[in-house]
């Protein structure tokens, strides 16, 4: 894979977004359009505490 192809694959990588916008490889409007197109996956989260216990009903896991 060429460097150009690797950069293209990382265009929307969260570590590269600020750089891509600042050097003009991506506009803020293009970024907003991309972010708006992403699905809402909030229902997939699992809340936990530092001690490792699930903050939801503990008895469901047993």
pLDDT at 56: 59
Q: What is the pLDDT of residues 11-30, one digit of tens each?
A: 899 999 999 999 999 999 99
Q: List Cα–Cα distances, 39 to 9, 35, 47, 49, 50, in angstroms.
A: 19, 9, 20, 26, 28
Q: Residue 4 has what pLDDT?
A: 86
Alpha helices in the chain (DSSP H): 3-9, 17-22, 28-37
Q: How many domains does the chain have?
A: 1
Q: Report pLDDT for 5.
A: 87
**Residues 33-61 pLDDT 10s:** 999 999 999 999 988 888 866 665 555 55
The whole-angstrom separation of Cα 55 and Cα 51 is: 10
pLDDT at 8 (0 to 100): 80
Q: Which domain holds residue 37?
A: 1-62
């Amino acid at each position: 894979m060429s460097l150009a192809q690797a950069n293209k694959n990382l265009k929307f990588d969260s570590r590269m977004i600020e750089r891509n916008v600042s050097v003009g490889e991506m506009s803020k409007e293009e970024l907003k359009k991309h972010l708006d197109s992403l699905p809402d996956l909030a229902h997939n989260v699992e809340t936990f505490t530092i001690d490792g216990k699930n903050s939801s009903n503990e008895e469901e896991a047993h």
